[in-house]
Amino acid sequence: MSFLYIITGPAGVGKSTVSKILAGKNEKSALIEGDDIYHLVCGGYVKPWLEGNHLEVFWENSIDLIINFLNRGYNVVFNYICTPEDIGYLRNNIKSIKIKLCILVTDEKTIIKRDKMRTLDCQMGERSILLLNEFKAMDYSKKYYLDTTLLSVEETVNKIIHNDNFLI
């Protein structure tokens, strides 16, 4: 049976890095970077946090892609900045599959340090801290949070794999 991992958290926390390693741990897996799907729109592109964004088509495409891989026996690692409502939408559209949700967080000093390690066009600066605080205030169960401040990438991945508290 296929498995879906949803890795979320604020910009700069390490979602992409963790997701790549996690996907590599599975014999048959697909890594779906939400940002790549969102950036498929060229004409009429609007940043996802602004009015007039194209999140509706983004979520439809993301779900179709996830289901396509799951139906063919792939484990899927999906990462994107997700709200509890987004997770509910995913859950309602993807049935009969085990799903693990992990919300990566860290302290402010670490997130700024990690953000500065990104390429200039991907750095979020102060928006990383804003998103970090938003995630800490979201209506998620605390069991889905994983503080990565003192963890290596490998330790983070192992905690995601072996912690059944992340099952939704």
5-43 residue pLDDT tens? 999 999 889 999 999 999 999 899 999 999 999 999 999
* Number of structural domains found in the chain: 1
pLDDT, one tens digit per residue, over 119-131 is 888 888 888 899 9
Own/partner pairs, 138-141, CB within 8 angstroms, 24+ separation: 138/83, 138/84, 139/84, 140/84, 140/103
pLDDT, one tens digit per residue, over 65-102 is 999 999 999 999 999 999 999 999 999 999 889 999 99
Range of the domain at 152: 3-166
- Residue 60 pLDDT class (50, 70, 90 cuts): very high
pLDDT of res. 96? 86
- The structure's pTM equals 0.93
CATH of the domain at 15: 3.40.50.300
